[in-house]
């Protein structure tokens, strides 16, 4: 039977990987393993969505690129429970599981949904359960180019390709073999730059033989292949002296790299390579967040015996971030991979703040489009306004929602934005929102409207998710109406509002994660309860999760963060009936659920929601909060979910802190305090999550700063917008770059 082509997507969530004998990690003997693949999370209660007629499971190995070692197709009915797959597979090697949902039976028809897991090492004597979330296919595929081969010898060659995913997540690999049918696949790599150059040494080749290869990339639910490239290996090296055995060609010797030059966004490196008397080609590999993939240009180093210098350069890196580099050299004797070395790009520096506009006032909001353009929200006499700009300057603020107060602004991954604000100019109160882009905003739309009855609207918060959607969460007033949410999607607009809780909320937080997941957390008005609801694309809003419900205790929420891995951390101050001051308490949420509340340290404060949390791309996190008598403490969360003991942070105070992190792990803690002169100081402290390290002292941004909003850009730079303490002060902006 003809197997369908692999189509690895770029939006992936692994819900579970549970097995005996360390099936999610260590090795195993090459026997058999019983594997049960479940689709819980495919949609609410694992229900097959409308339009899906069949589910197809492909299991690939080795290196998760092929060949196919397991395959099964089941016909399904929309609305029915998604069935599990039971397979028996070779154990002791990594395997990847791909699930595709097709619009017709027997894999005929349009591919509608897709999901994939990373490699799982199959254990020999236990059942491995792999649960996959599949999401709608994204229509934006990467572009792929197959580059000419380099370093061609009798037994080896270097295949090359280039992938441009437009900044979206994607996977890439090279297919090769003796014909255009290929048959071999290099290890799958994560595309971490655009463009992304990959080089793969091909070994075990036959002399004077023609081989074919092509670059392949998967993203947006589609697989894109580059053009076929053919090359012919060299003839075998002949002995020139009769009766003398020269032996096999030795592989090259490779030294560890060293830095020639580092900049804020680039590294130039060098390493010594000894060709060993055979024509040698070499290049550098870069590892980002522990994954090797991106390569430098391949260089020809000759066939001498003496060591020669290999040099390479990488640009487009994030500032102040540690990357790992290693050299790879190839000749007729084989492939040598040198030792890796960690090198850091140069860190940034704060620039003096300045006004966004002389007339833009109020408590600011700040968002960044994918290209680095900033959107600063504030208040003009005519209503809620947005200014567009960056370090080079700002445009004149544009009123987006007339008559409304200070807006919330959020940007999406595909370059769109949503502005939301309460309109309090008339006899009624309204939540109004507009979407679009700078200079092209939609007509403001009333999302919710009610009679004011003297009650001021409150509690508006917004977040963007990884699928480009935006969620607004609000409440009409302190005592009237429950907590509501509405979701915006490009092309479809704003949906119908959903009531998350019938009880009035005291405080609410919302954060978007990868794959469109959105987490909303809130207190009831009395601050007694802590509750969570999540939105999952295709499944809608899930049930209310009650993390804490004791009515005699107070738990004002402080902060919520969701990282690129999907890990969420919620922070609140737990004050029970016997304590004057509280205990900083956390719950960690993943696709498996939420952990029970866990205390991580005393706060020295009572009911003030005064802490900050940020989750890194790998699931690590950091929480900072004030302590009794002044000062600041922090606790670090490891990737495995364990919390370290609290430690002192070199800040005078953690009043209304803000934490932002770059995917590379570096970030900034913003805080306010009153200095000896009575000034309301806004300061910033650099942190490095990979080393759990803080700078020795903070940088003062302003002696008249309040309510900071901050974003981290793709290049690692950080933008901050803040208000002045005095009412009517213009919104200020500062950059760390």
Segment 705-722 mean pLDDT: 89
**Highest-scoring range by mean pLDDT, 111-120, 340-349, 607-616:** 340-349
Reduced 3-state DSSP string for 656-681: EEEEEECCCCEEEEEEEEECCCCCEE
Res. 36: pLDDT tops 80: no
Q: How far from chain centre, in Å, is Cα 67?
A: 29
High-pLDDT (> 70) share of the chain, %: 82
Q: What is the pLDDT of residues 370-402, one digit of tens each?
A: 888 999 999 999 999 999 998 888 999 999 999
Mean pLDDT confidence for 5-27: 28
pLDDT at 244: 37
**Lowest mean pLDDT across 139-143, 290-294, 333-337:** 139-143
Average pLDDT over residues 571-577: 79
Backbone region of residue 695 per phi and psi (left: phi > 0; alpha: psi in -120 to 50; beta: other values): beta
Question: What is the Cα–Cα distance from 408 to 538, expressed in whole angstroms?
Answer: 26
pLDDT of residue 26: 33
Whether 275 contacts 331, CB under 8 Å: yes
Cα(19)–Cα(125) distance, integer angstroms: 9
pLDDT for the residue numbered 135: 61
For the whole model, what pTM was predicted?
Answer: 0.72
Can you give the pLDDT at residue 195? 87
Model pLDDT for residues 635-653, shown as the tens digit of each residue: 999 888 889 999 999 988 8
Average pLDDT for the chain: 81
Among 349-353, 366-370, 725-729, the range scoring the smallest mean pLDDT is 725-729
Of 334, 467, 480, 342, residue with least CA distance to 412: 467
pLDDT at 103 over 90: no
pLDDT of 128: 64
Distance CA 150, CA 159 (A): 7
Whether residue 579 is predicted with pLDDT greater than 90 in this model: the reply is no
Reported in sequence order, the residue ranges of 117-245 that DSSP labels E, i.e. its strands, are 120-121, 128-133, 135-136, 143-150, 157-164, 171-177, 184-185, 189-190, 196-202, 210-219, 222-225, 229-232
Instruction: Please spell the DSSP secondary structure of 538-571, one letter per residue.
Output: TTEE-PPEEEE--TTSB--EEEEEE-TTS-EEEE
Q: What is the CATH number of domain 143-233+252-344?
A: 2.60.40.10
Q: Where are the domains of the chain?
A: 13-136, 143-233+252-344, 354-362+370-377+451-736
- Please check whether the two domains, 13-136 and 354-362+370-377+451-736, share a CATH topology: no
pLDDT surpasses 70 at 334? yes
Instruction: Give the pLDDT confidence score for residue 387 in this predicted structure.
Output: 94
What is the CATH code of the structural domain delimited by 354-362+370-377+451-736?
A: 2.120.10
User: Do 325 and 257 contact (CB within 8 A), yes or no?
Assistant: yes
What average pLDDT does this structure show over 332-343? 90
Please state, as a whole number, how many other Cβ atoms lie within 10 Å of the Cβ of residue 339.
11
Q: How far apart are CA 520 and CA 483, in angstroms?
A: 10
Question: By mean pLDDT, which of 12-16, 208-212, 306-310, 351-355 is the weakest?
Answer: 12-16
- The pLDDT, as a whole number, for residue 43 is 42
Strand pairing partners for 294? 286
pLDDT tens digits for range 464-484: 988 889 999 998 775 667 899
**Cα–Cα distance measured from residue 408 to residue 419, given in angstroms and rounded to the nearest whole number:** 6
Average pLDDT on 132-144 reads 69
The mean pLDDT of 192-205, rounded to a whole number, is 88
Token couple for 3: 């197997």
Distance CA 348, CA 320 (A): 7
Could you give the C-alpha distances from 529 to 312, 523, 556, 585, in angstroms and in order? 56, 5, 9, 13
Q: How do the residues of the chain divide into helix, strand and coil, expressed in percent and rounded to 5?
A: 0, 55, 45
Residue 442 C-alpha from the chain's centroid? 29
pLDDT for the residue numbered 107:
67
Identify the three-state secondary structure at position 290. coil
Q: 561 pLDDT band (50/70/90 cuts)?
A: very high
> Looking at the domain covering 13-136, what would its CATH class be?
mainly beta
pLDDT, one tens digit per residue, over 43-81 is 434 567 767 788 888 888 765 656 788 888 888 887 777
């Amino acid at each position: 039977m003809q197997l369908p082509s692999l189509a690895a997507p770029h939006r992936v969530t692994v819900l579970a990987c549970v097995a005996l004998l360390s099936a999610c990690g260590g090795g195993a003997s090459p026997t058999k393993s019983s594997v049960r693949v479940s689709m819980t999370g495919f949609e609410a209660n694992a229900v097959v969505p409308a339009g899906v007629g069949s589910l197809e499971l492909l299991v690939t190995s080795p290196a998760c690129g092929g060949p196919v070692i397991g395959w099964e197709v089941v016909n399904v009915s929309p609305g029915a429970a998604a069935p599990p797959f039971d397979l028996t597979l070779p154990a002791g090697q990594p395997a990847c599981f791909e699930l595709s949902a097709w619009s017709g039976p027997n894999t005929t028809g349009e591919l509608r949904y897709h999901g994939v897991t990373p490699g799982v090492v199959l254990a020999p004597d236990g059942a491995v359960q792999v649960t996959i979330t599949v999401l709608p296919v994204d229509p934006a595929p990467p572009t792929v180019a197959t580059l000419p081969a380099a370093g061609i010898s009798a037994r080896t060659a270097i295949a090359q390709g280039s992938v441009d995913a437009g900044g979206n997540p994607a996977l890439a690999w090279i297919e090769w073999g003796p014909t255009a049918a290929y048959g071999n696949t290099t290890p799958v790599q994560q595309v971490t730059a655009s463009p992304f150059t990959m080089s793969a040494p091909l070994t075990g080749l036959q002399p004077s033989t023609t081989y074919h290869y092509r670059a392949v990339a998967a993203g947006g639910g589609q697989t894109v292949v580059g053009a076929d490239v053919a090359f012919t290996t060299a003839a075998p090296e002949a002995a020139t002296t009769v009766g003398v055995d020269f032996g096999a060609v030795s592989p090259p010797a490779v030294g560890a790299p060293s830095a020639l030059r580092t900049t804020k966004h680039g590294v130039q490196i060098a390493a010594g390579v000894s060709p060993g008397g055979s024509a040698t080609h070499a290049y550098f590999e870069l590892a980002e967040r522990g994954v090797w993939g991106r390569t430098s240009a391949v260089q020809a180093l000759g066939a001498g015996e003496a060591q020669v210098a290999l040099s390479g350069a990488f640009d487009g890196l994030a500032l102040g971030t540690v990357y790992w580099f290693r050299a790879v050299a190839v000749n007729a004797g084989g492939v040598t991979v040198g030792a890796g070395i960690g090198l850091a790009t140069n860190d940034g520096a704060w620039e003096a703040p300045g006004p966004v506009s002389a007339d833009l006032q109020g408590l600011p909001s700040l968002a960044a489009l994918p290209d680095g353009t900033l959107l600063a929200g504030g208040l003009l006499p005519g209503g809620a306004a947005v200014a567009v700009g960056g370090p080079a300057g700002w445009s004149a603020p544009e009123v987006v929602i007339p008559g409304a107060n200070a807006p919330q602004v959020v940007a999406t991954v595909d370059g769109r934005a949503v502005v939301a604000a309460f309109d309090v100019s008339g006899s009624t109160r309204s939540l109004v929102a507009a979407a679009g882009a700078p200079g092209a905003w939609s007509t403001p739309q009333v999302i919710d409207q009610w009679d004011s009855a003297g009650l001021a609207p409150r509690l508006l918060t917004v977040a963007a998710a990884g699928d480009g959607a935006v969620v607004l969460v609000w409440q009409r007033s302190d005592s009237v109406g429950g907590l509501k949410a509405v979701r915006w999607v490009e092309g479809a607009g704003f949906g119908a509002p959903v009531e998350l809780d019938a009880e009035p909320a005291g405080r609410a937080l919302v954060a978007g994660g990868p794959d469109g997941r959105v987490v909303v957390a809130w207190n009831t008005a009395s601050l007694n309860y802590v509750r969570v609801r999540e939105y999952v694309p295709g499944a809608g809003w899930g049930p209310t999760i009650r993390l804490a419900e004791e009515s005699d205790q107070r738990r004002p929420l402080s902060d919520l963060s969701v990282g690129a891995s999907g890990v969420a951390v919620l922070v609140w101050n737990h004050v029970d009936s016997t304590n004057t001051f509280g205990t900083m308490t956390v719950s960690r949420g993943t696709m498996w659920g939420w952990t029970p509340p866990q205390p991580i340290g005393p706060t020295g404060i009572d009911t003030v929601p005064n802490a900050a949390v940020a989750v890194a791309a790998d699931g690590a996190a950091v929480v900072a909060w004030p302590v009794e008598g002044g000062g600041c403490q922090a606790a670090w969360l490891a990737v495995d979910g364990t919390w370290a003991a609290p430690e002192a942070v070199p800040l005078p105070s953690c009043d209304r802190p803000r934490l932002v992190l770059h995917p590379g792990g570096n970030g900034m803690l913003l805080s306010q305090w009153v200095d000896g002169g009575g000034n309301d100081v806004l300061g910033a402290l650099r942190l490095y999550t990979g080393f759990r390290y803080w700078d020795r002292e903070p940088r003062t941004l302003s002696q008249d700063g309040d309510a900071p909003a901050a974003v981290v850009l793709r290049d690692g730079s950080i933008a901050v917008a803040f208000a002045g303490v005095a009412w009517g002060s213009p919104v200020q902006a500062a950059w760390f770059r």
